[in-house]
Chains A and B, each alone.
Chain A
Amino acid sequence: MHKDFDVTIENLSKIEGHADLEVKVRGDRVVSTRLRIHESKRFFTQAIRGMPFNAVPQMVSRICGTCSSAHLTCCTEAVESAIGIEPSEQTIMQRKLLMYANNIRDHAMHLYFFCLPDLLGKDSVLDLEGDDKELLHKALHVKGAGADFAKIVGGRVVHPPFLQLGRFTNVPSPEQAKSVVKQLDEIRPLALEFAELFHKSKFEFRRSTHFIASMNDDFSYRGEELMVSNGVHIGKDDYFDHLRRVIIPYSTATGFEFEGGMGYMVGALARMNLNKSSLHPDTKRDCGKYLHEFPSDNVFHNNLAQAVEIIHAIDASKEILETQVFRPEPPVKMEAKEGTGVAAVEAPRGTLYYMMKIGKDGKVRDGTLVIPTQQNQVNIEKDAHKLVQESLGKLDVDRLRDQIEKLIRAYDPCMSCASHFLRLKMKKAK
């Protein structure tokens, strides 16, 4: 027999943004699990209406300081599609580089600063001692190289100013390209070392769910089509029609489910499960042993997938930087035009979708977004529920709290993103 108790984790740590988790246990049953996102909402849905089409990408970049490049890129592509701008091949290449650069920096932050302490039984990377201290320096090196790379391609790590509708205002010089390649060569062995650490991890939490990711043949940030792990292919324009919005009254974020109430996960694990055959040949050569783990239904393999993605981002970027000559491009001519545009990209945390409606006057009529963490949060809650149910009688409350936090962290949730763009057509709370 078990006693009744509640587990509350206030302010989950080592994640992006603010959230609590509350679990109620009555007897031998978990009766409720609530992931309460309490990030302060900024009402972007309302704020972008009426904005000029060319101002809105930099505005929505402010939804999230962590993955601003993904928001900026996705919104830019949706607006381009709405008003009929075709970006050049070089611009697409630069967007790929920007996304790779941020994947290196962002995944390094999450893996080495948020998750690594769990692996080493420490609370913080700042507390590493002895030989482990070297890991902190290596982590800083990888993350720093990603940040330098992002600055060269985008002009800044957060809200990169070079990325514009139709082009980049600056291009990497041959010297800059060389210096990035040199840094990427330096961090590659370190990134492999970290992948090995995450592969050795014994953390495991398995459950069956579906996975969704964009499909493409170079494992870059986008594709015209999304794939569901049940074999269904969906054109990106139709993606939103397959989703169902889930209103969560105690959270400042809404969630999404796939049609039919099917739970699913987006992010590195989904990409690796569905598209690992498109990874760079050098990554495949050196990560064979890790790739063997996929497809996987172990949530903690999301971290191994991120570790492999860092190596892919290094390899794919090097190939572009060593072969592409970048020439400055003139501003693209653009006119206000009525239209609707859709874009979907793979942000570090998963599929990000934008639909932008532009009016005849060139002002935004309406925008719809689907954010990775909104899609994962339904699963996060369910998984925490299952974890507690399975651990009853085996773990004390403190250990349980650690386990739950570790599991949620494996998803790499981002609460800033999840709560800042919402429809508010909800029933009156009583």
Chain B
Amino acid sequence: MMSMAGKLKAGFFSFTGDEGCMVTVLEAISSHFAEWSGKLDIAFWKVLRSRDWIDEDMDVAIVEGAISSYEEEERLKHLREHCKVLVAVGSCAITGAPSNHRNFFDERRLGEIADFLHRFDYREKVQPLKDFVKVDYEVQGCPVDEAGFVKLMEKLLSGGA
């Protein structure tokens, strides 16, 4: 599944969450930079490049966060059409939690936030990625387990996906 001079073309995307998984992913990539940089093309990552992803194809999308708005749902589905492999990293992406605590609010709390949900077009529930698209790999943890992510990346980088 390699493209462009044998490099794995990857994009990194964040939905609802604290972005702690991407901090962890970045630390993992940083500490393996010497081995991976010849094989990994970091094509899209908003914290590293100003060029935003719109609709270009890629080999792998690494995705953190849960889906809480209709806009996020659209973007995720669009992303799925443009990646060969989609990896969900961390608890929010895989289960929705802990970003989904509003799913369990009582009437009173829901009343407090109802106006806001409406104004920003939020979905009724916060849901994991797999409720909307096919997820090929999951790496668990809150934040994502660094060693588990490294293991998966090594598999993907060696063409073993």
Contact = CB atoms under 8 A, between A and B. Distances in A.
B49 A126 contact: yes
Contacts of A144: 27, 30-31
B112 interface: yes
A405 B115 CA distance: 31
B143 A159 contact: yes
Contacts of A143: 30
B23 A123 contact: no
A94 interface: no
Interface string A43-85: 1101101000000000100111110100000000000000000
A49 B48 CA distance: 37
Interface string A130-165: 000000000010011001000000001111000000
A245 B48 CA distance: 32
Contacts of A428: 115
A424 B22 CA distance: 29
A126 B18 contact: no
Interface in B67-116: 68-69, 72, 98-99, 101-102, 105, 109, 112-113, 115-116
Q: How large is the interface on B (under 10, 10 to 19, 20 to 34, 35 or more residues)?
A: 35 or more
Q: How large is the interface on A (under 10, 10 to 19, 20 to 34, 35 or more residues)?
A: 35 or more
A315 to B, nearest CB: 24
Contacts of A38: 120
Interface in A309-352: none
Interface string A398-430: 000000010000000000100010001010110
Contacts of B102: 42-43, 46-47
A224 interface: no
Interface string B112-131: 11011001101000000000
B48 A62 contact: no
A416 B20 CA distance: 10
Nearest to A9: B50
B149 interface: no
Given A11-B46, A47-B101, A158-B24, A40 B69 contact: yes
A65 B116 contact: no
A123 B109 contact: no
Contact of A405 (B50, B113, B142): B50
A62 B20 contact: yes
Given A40-B15, A42-B16, A124-B48, A426 B98 contact: no
Interface of B: 14-24, 26-27, 30-31, 33, 42, 46-52, 65, 68-69, 72, 98-99, 101-102, 105, 109, 112-113, 115-116, 119-120, 122, 142-143
Interface of A: 10-11, 13-18, 38, 40-44, 46-47, 49, 59, 62-66, 68, 109, 113-114, 123-126, 140, 143-144, 147, 156-159, 252, 405, 416, 420, 424, 426, 428-429
20 contacts: A11-B46, A40-B16, A40-B65, A41-B116, A42-B16, A42-B68, A43-B102, A46-B105, A46-B112, A47-B101, A62-B142, A65-B19, A66-B18, A114-B47, A140-B33, A158-B20, A158-B23, A252-B120, A424-B115, A429-B115
